[in-house]
Amino acid sequence: MEEIEAGALYLVATPIGNLADISYRAVHILQNVDLIAAEDTRKSAVLLNHYNIKNRITSYHSYNIKKETPRLVRRLLDGESVALISDAGTPGISDPGYNLVKECTEKDIRIIPIPGASAMLAAITASGLRTQKFVFEGFLPQKKGRKTRLEKLADEERTIVIYESPHRINKTVRQISEYWGDRPCVMAREITKKFEEFYKGRLTDLLQYLETKKIKGEIVLIIQGKI
């Protein structure tokens, strides 16, 4: 296996559900870096314990990025190796990891991606909608700017991929259908887990379905672009 580079930030993709979805390389990196920075240390402990990874771990999340970003950068500049992991999937995608990557880029710190699971890619490749070109929106604005964003995306011709939480999915689907019309869509949730589901239909069909069922698990919503 490769030697760990001193002063390097490793962006390590972790499973999005099924703990088997991790590479040998990722496990090796997590076992041998000087420090692991995790979005939620309790959630990450499940994965680390599963692979018997005993290493130093610190929290790095949206509530402490102002304090922890410079601290981690100092460690890296001092020659320590750090592995950044999110709660699930690839760090830096709709999570605080972007802030650390940005600072490291400005300080010319070496950044090494360790690829792996991604809910976005898993969902869109299995959706049956066009994958030649797509746009990833992450989470839509919750209040300020939401209406403006929905209006702007109404004319987007590429397939649109959105992340959403279970308690907001009904509202989001309803608003999207109002602004964009009744388009083909796919709702993917619990990807790689026991109750994995891909609901395929139109936005109005999905809304009716959601009104009859209590949805759990993080959701990826894929909507056909404007034709």
Residue 188's beta-bridge partner residues? 198, 220
Place of tokens 């887990």: 193
Burial class (CB in 10 A: 0-12, 13-18, 19+), 95: buried
Q: What is the CATH number of domain 119-223?
A: 3.30.950.10
DSSP class of 207 = H
Q: Tens-digit pLDDT profile for the chain (227 aa)?
A: 799 999 999 999 999 999 999 999 999 999 999 999 999 999 999 999 999 999 999 999 999 999 999 999 999 999 999 999 999 999 998 889 999 999 999 999 999 999 999 999 999 999 999 999 999 999 999 989 999 999 999 999 999 999 999 999 999 999 999 999 999 999 999 999 999 999 999 999 999 999 999 899 989 999 999 98
Please state, in angstroms and rounded to a whole number, the distance separating the CA atoms of residues 70 and 47: 27
The residue ranges of DSSP E strands in 116-196, in sequence order, are: 134-139, 159-164, 184-189
Q: What is the CATH number of domain 9-114?
A: 3.40.1010.10
Q: Where are the domains of the chain?
A: 9-114, 119-223
Taking the whole predicted model, whether its pTM rises above 0.95 is answered as: no
Contact status, residue 84 vs residue 37, Cβ threshold 8 Å: yes
Please state, in angstroms and rounded to a whole number, the distance separating the CA atoms of residues 83 and 39: 11
